[in-house]
Amino acid sequence: MPASSDGSATLSPARIRYALLALALGGFGIGSTEFVAMGLLPDLAQDLLPALYASSPDAANAQAGWLITAYALGVVVGAPTIAAAAARWPRKQLLLALLAAFTLSTIASALLPTFGLVLAARFVAALPHGAYFGIASLVAADLMGPGKRARGVALVLGGLTIANVIGVPSITWLGQTSGWRVAYLVVAAIFTATFVAVAALVPLQDGNPQATMRSELRAFGRVQVWFALGIGAVGFGGLFAVYTYVAPLVMEVTGLGAGAVPLVLVVIGVGMTIGNFIGGALADRSVRRSMYGFFVVMLLALTGLALSAESVPGLLIGVFFVGAASSALSPTIQTRLMDVSHDSQSIAAALNHSALNVGNALGAFLGGLAIAGGLGYVAPVWIGLGLSGLGLLLTVATFLVDRVRRGNRVELPYGTAAIRVVAAE
């Protein structure tokens, strides 16, 4: 049976399952805090920007999208900083510190009175996001054992995707009926429950005693790390250009009422959950083929959604496959990052979420510009198509670099051994 990283204890299968569930509960809380703003965007705009909303709801919705952009930028800043600085910390203690930070900053988001202060609170609330997923993914991979890394990552991310099936729609409904501030207080309660679960169920694991800020930051000197980050940052803009403005898309383009928004979020969440576990399983077989295949599905789904969003079937089928393809890419890209980062594992595991949230910020920002420019609520879908197309081009480029490097490898026989000359990273 797998042992904890310090070798002090052998864990039963049941204990491993409970530990993984505790880690996934954290993903559930993070998915809720990250995505619930998208379903409540008109409510946030009306409450925090009342004068602007009265004169131009479109402009107010676009500005409220900054709350999503601020969260995404907080992830980008916090993930590499915390992961590199705290790589030596015992992993369980680090996870508990991050969960405490989530709880307090989410409470602040719910209670602060003005748009500017809530914007700042959302940035702060995002700082632990990438580090939590990065460290939790390493813990899960260790618990799962060799050959199951991507599935371990997918299990942790499963909490996030399940949040989009259960947490985000139900909390969105609660926010619509009881106020968005109540919704964020519920999210804070989820983080509190996760703190208790991790404290009770996750085994102690040492950090990396050899890790330093300098050694972790070496990852940024590797070309393939930058390719992987670019794939996540640009390619995931396709999802977030759609997801950020899904509420006005449902109401203004498809012509459904506000009550349909949580149901559409359930459809996206089901797609994300299915895609996440498919992505984890297929990435353990072939990262390259998985990335190509899921990007093609993403492009087809975005095209179909842009052309058929006025109809209910077109909307539901489109958002389902956008959610599924994008979520399948997440464990795939994370595994790729871990492959190309070599000994900088802590920062690599966290950087995936920095990259995805660059996509979050980029999709939300560009989609907001299009809406504010009068191009309508389908325009962000077309923008997402362009971003995902660039992600596919970067995927082709990164594997071409791999092929060139393999071509530059020279085998020099020497007795029964061989000396391998490989192009430098």
**Calculated CA dihedral for residues 271, 130, 47, 181, nearest 10 degrees:** 90
Q: Residue 361 carries which side chain, given as an amino acid letter?
A: A
How far, in Å, CA of 367 to CA of 354, rounded?
A: 20
Reported pTM: 0.70
pLDDT in the model for residue 2: 44
How far, in Å, CA of 267 to CA of 158, rounded?
A: 15
pLDDT in the model for residue 421: 39
pLDDT in the model for residue 287: 82
Nearest to 355 by CA among 377, 329, 378, 380: 329
How far, in Å, CA of 255 to CA of 179, rounded?
A: 23
What are the structure tokens assigned to 411, written together?
């085998």
pLDDT in the model for residue 420: 41
The pairs formed by 410-417 with CB atoms below 8 angstroms and a separation of 24 or more are none
- Is residue 217 within 8 A of residue 142, CB to CB? The reply is no
- Is residue 251 within 8 A of residue 309, CB to CB? The reply is no
How far, in Å, CA of 339 to CA of 408, rounded?
A: 20
Task: Write the CA distances from 315 to 96, 182, 398, integer angstroms.
Answer: 40, 29, 33
How far, in Å, CA of 265 to CA of 353, rounded?
A: 21
Q: How many CA atoms lie within 13 A of 295 on its CB side?
A: 25
pLDDT in the model for residue 346: 66
What are the structure tokens assigned to 192, written together?
């509190």
Task: Write the CA distances from 7 to 12, 23, 63, 84, 143, integer angstroms.
Answer: 14, 20, 51, 24, 12
- Is residue 20 within 8 A of residue 140, CB to CB? The reply is yes
pLDDT in the model for residue 28: 92
pLDDT in the model for residue 409: 55
Nearest to 205 by CA among 87, 351, 334: 87
Task: Write the CA distances from 270 to 143, 156, 183, 264, 401, integer angstroms.
Answer: 26, 16, 21, 10, 35
pLDDT in tens, 31-67: 888 878 877 888 899 899 899 888 888 888 888 888 8
For the chain, what is the largest distance between any 2 Cα atoms, rounded to a whole number of angstroms?
82
> What domains can be seen in the chain, in order of their start residue?
13-421 (1.20.1250.20)
Buried b (16+ CB within 10 A) or exposed e, 161-171: bbbbbebbbbb
pLDDT (tens, 9 = 90+) of the chain, 425 residues, equals: 444 444 334 767 778 888 888 999 998 999 888 878 877 888 899 899 899 888 888 888 888 888 888 887 888 788 778 877 777 788 888 999 999 999 999 999 999 999 999 999 999 999 998 888 888 887 887 787 666 666 777 777 778 778 877 888 889 889 988 999 999 999 999 999 999 999 998 887 765 666 556 666 676 777 888 888 888 888 878 888 888 888 889 988 888 887 888 888 888 888 988 888 888 778 877 888 888 999 999 999 999 999 998 999 999 999 999 989 988 888 788 778 777 776 666 677 677 777 877 887 788 888 888 888 888 889 999 999 999 999 999 999 988 887 877 766 544 443 444 434 343 34
